[in-house]
Amino acid sequence: MDNAAGVTHNIAETIDSATALTAIRTEQLCRHYRMGDAVIRAVDGVDLAIRAGEFVALLGSSGSGKSSVLNLIAGLDRPTSGSVVVHDRDLAKLSRDELAGYRLHTVGMVFQSFNLIPSMTLAENVELPMRFAEIERGRRDNLAREALMRVGLQARMNHRPSELSGGEQQRAALARALINRPKLLLADEPTGNLDSRTGTEIMNMVREFNQQLGMTVVMVTHERALAERYAQRLIFLADGKLAGDEPNPAVAARSEEHAVKTEARLS
Ligand code: ADP
Ligand code: MG
């Protein structure tokens, strides 16, 4: 009896740890838009499995469906058919409130156009997700200051976005994306509006969050060189379908090395 229970327990544990490794899974994911009589198959049967802690680039030419896939993973949009499962939760089965909670606590997002609120200071922008999460004032102030410090903007916290450079605005957007300690960082062309030096600065920060905070990163880009420099894996989309999925050995090896070092330091 004991033995049988033990075995069952072990199997359950094994299954748990196997699924725990997968952060994001999509199954036959479709998002079709109807335009008059025409149907645009923006996402057309995409199967993906992204491991927890992985840094993945989603590549493809303009119109290939990259942003549509990212928005479905983010819970900003619902699939026409198929499913998105994040940390074993099928997004389609969440109520409206649960989905809002998912967007607030599990997902951090950054966009090409930063999407900061112009009338608010950086500190107010960064603490906004915590206001929705009903975290009390003093704690919000501290966490916002800490997040802005992490991205090197503590001196600018009382400025409005229009008083900052593009790179600074994107750093503030990263601070906001991080504030609720989400497990996923979803970035849609995060360097698209930045010069290459500033873009590198932002990407180095994203890599730091991936490595030091263990966030799973999915970055949409049409720049292969950028993806090759930072992502452990390159996933290609064309016409809403998967067109390739390749490991990026150089970066994957470096990340592996970093993980081993971090483990050694912690033990
Ligand atoms: P990407 O990010 O790779 O450039 P998108 O996911 O934005 O591609 O778009 C994929 C396709 O879906 C494009 O043909 C685009 O025009 C279309 N599309 C995206 N959003 C909408 C929408 N809200 N309504 C209609 N068509 C859309
Ligand atoms: Mg796009």
147 C-beta closer than 6 A to ligand 1: no
pLDDT above 90 covers what percent of the chain?
A: 82
Which numbered atom of ligand 1 lies nearest the CA of 68?
Answer: 6
Say if residues 219 and 57 touch (Cβ distance below 8 Å): yes
68 C-beta closer than 6 A to ligand 1: yes
Measured distance CA(151)–CA(61) in Å, rounded: 30
Question: What CATH number does the domain located at 23-106+183-267 have?
Answer: 3.40.50.300
Mutate to test the pocket of ligand 1, among 30, 37, 67 (most ligand atoms within 8 A of CB): 67
Measured distance CA(181)–CA(224) in Å, rounded: 29
Tell me the two tokens of residue 229: 């420099």
67 C-beta closer than 6 A to ligand 1: yes
Express each pLDDT in 9-22 by its tens digit: 555 555 555 555 89
Q: Rounded to the nearest whole angstrom, what is the distance from the C-alpha of residue 239 to the centroid of ligand 1?
A: 10
Tell me the two tokens of residue 168: 């600074």
Beta-sheet pairing, 233-238 with 55-59:
parallel
Q: Whose CA is nearest to atom 11 of ligand 1?
A: 42
Measured distance CA(209)–CA(237) in Å, rounded: 25
What is the overall mean pLDDT for the chain?
A: 91
64 C-beta closer than 6 A to ligand 1: yes
Which pLDDT belongs to residue 1? Answer: 45
Roughly what angle, to the nearest 10 degrees, separates helices 249-266 and 196-212?
A: 50
Express each pLDDT in 205-261 by its tens digit: 999 999 999 999 999 999 999 999 999 999 999 999 999 999 998 888 887 777 777
188 C-beta closer than 6 A to ligand 1: no
Positive or negative torsion for Cα 56, 59, 104, 14? negative
Measured distance CA(80)–CA(129) in Å, rounded: 28
User: SS3 helix, strand, coil % of the chain, rounded to 5?
Assistant: 45, 25, 25
Which pLDDT belongs to residue 153? Answer: 96
Measured distance CA(88)–CA(95) in Å, rounded: 15
Q: Rounded to the nearest whole angstrom, what is the distance from the C-alpha of residue 210 to the centroid of ligand 1?
A: 28
Q: Rounded to the nearest whole angstrom, what is the distance from the C-alpha of residue 77 to the centroid of ligand 2?
A: 14
Which numbered atom of ligand 1 lies nearest the CA of 71?
Answer: 6
Q: Whose CA is nearest to atom 22 of ligand 1?
A: 33
Q: Whose CA is nearest to atom 24 of ligand 1?
A: 33
The domain locations on the chain are 23-106+183-267, 118-181
33 C-beta closer than 6 A to ligand 1: yes
From residue 126, alpha-carbon distances to 130, 147, 187 in Å are: 8, 8, 17
Express each pLDDT in 21-64 by its tens digit: 899 999 999 999 999 999 999 999 999 999 999 999 999 999 99
Q: Which alpha helices (H) appear in the chain, and where do they start and end?
A: 2-20, 66-73, 96-105, 122-132, 137-150, 166-178, 196-212, 224-230, 249-266
